[in-house]
């Protein structure tokens, strides 16, 4: 393989890596990505769920083609068009005051619109250089076989990404993280003080409903403080209190703010002075589970 081809392939792998990282986090929580698309106000909000899956699928298929190096000049050209589209949408939303933190890499690597435009421009330049170096390159039959094999994990991630047990990776929260600044209103005691079991719940959530009994038992044991957080405002929190009559405090936070900490509810966090010690994704632990964790 010629030196030019090697350099071009490394540049192509760089472009593919950007696509894979971006698509992986978005595939794990397409609903969150759809909300971010709606926030840009470039397309109707009703389109956002479809666009979320569409862009995840396009990015993953394109990344598979780049890694397998099939028709690289064409796939690199398509990647350039995709990046230019992202740059244009970001610039438009930024100019209209709708571009907050970009959801390009999910919640794990949120950046502002300026950073997004710079990063996508670097990918465009790398892809252009690779195209220039690949003049005369021909795809071999075995490369198509690799592409077909790579489509299997692509289809799995697109179809089952929201259900895969990757909450910690997608949400970006784990033991050792500092959540002392989490904004939950309606509480007398700060979440960031003491040994706290913080559970995020919502109405019409079956696991949240069935877990209330366990929360009452944990709170009654007095070993640690139990706090429930409900997405929404004081009315939603009050409705939840009236429905369940908890023996522990119930706070609230705007849906958009609390949504950063979960894919699906419930989520239970054990905090020591605001530092995450344990996370129970999509469940409320039993008193025995809590005791075993101490």
pLDDT band at 107 (very low <50, low <70, confident <90, very high): low
User: Looking at per-residue confidence, does 23 or 39 come out higher?
Assistant: 23
Higher pLDDT, 137 or 127: 127
Output the pLDDT for position 67: 97
Are 223 and 130 contacting, i.e. CB atoms less than 8 angstroms apart?
no
CB 167 within 8 A of CB 198: no
pLDDT digits over 168-182, tens only? 989 989 999 999 989
What pLDDT was estimated at residue 255? 87
pLDDT recorded at residue 103: 54
| Average pLDDT rounded to a whole number, residues 100-129 | 78
**Nearest Cα residue to 227 out of 256, 261, 269:** 269
The model's pTM = 0.85
Q: Tell me the pLDDT band of 136, cut-offs 50, 70 and 90.
A: confident
Domain ranges of the chain: 3-164, 173-293
Res. 115 pLDDT band, cuts 50 70 90: confident
The span from the CA of 201 to the CA of 241, in Å, is 11
Whether pLDDT at 97 is above 90: no
Query: Once rounded to an integer, what is the mean pLDDT over residues 210-239?
Result: 92
Nearest to 112 by CA among 124, 104, 256: 104
| CA distance readout (Å), 28 to 32, 107, 201 | 9, 11, 20
Mean pLDDT (whole number) for 195-203: 93
CATH architecture, range 173-293: 3-Layer(aba) Sandwich (3.40)
């Amino acid at each position: 393989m010629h030196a030019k081809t090697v350099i071009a392939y490394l540049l192509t792998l760089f472009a593919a890596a950007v696509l894979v990282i971006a698509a992986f986090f978005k595939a794990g929580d397409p609903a969150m990505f759809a909300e971010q698309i709606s926030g840009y106000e470039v397309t109707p909000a009703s389109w956002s769920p479809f666009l979320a899956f569409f862009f995840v699928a396009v990015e993953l298929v394109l990344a598979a083609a780049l890694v397998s190096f099939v028709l690289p000049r064409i796939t690199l050209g398509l990647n350039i068009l995709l990046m230019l589209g992202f740059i244009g949408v970001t610039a438009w939303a930024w100019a209209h005051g709708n571009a907050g933190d970009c959801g390009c890499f999910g919640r794990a690597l949120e950046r502002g619109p300026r950073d997004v435009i710079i990063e996508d421009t670097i990918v465009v330049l790398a892809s252009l250089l690779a195209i220039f170096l690949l003049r005369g390159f021909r795809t071999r039959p075995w490369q198509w076989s690799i592409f077909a094999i790579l489509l299997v994990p692509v289809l799995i991630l697109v179809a089952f990404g929201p259900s895969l047990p990757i909450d910690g990776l997608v949400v970006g929260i784990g033991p050792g993280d500092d959540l002392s600044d989490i904004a939950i209103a309606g509480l007398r005691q700060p979440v960031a003080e003491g040994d706290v079991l913080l559970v995020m719940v919502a109405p019409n959530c079956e696991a949240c409903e069935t877990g209330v009994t366990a929360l009452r038992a944990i709170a009654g044991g007095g070993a640690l403080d139990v706090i429930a957080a409900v997405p929404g405002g004081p009315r939603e929190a009050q409705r939840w209190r009236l429905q369940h009559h908890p023996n522990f405090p119930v706070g609230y936070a705007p849906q958009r703010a609390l949504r950063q900490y979960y894919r699906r509810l419930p989520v239970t966090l054990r905090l020591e002075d605001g530092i995450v010690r344990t996370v129970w994704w999509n469940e409320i632990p039993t008193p025995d589970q809590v005791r075993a964790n101490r």
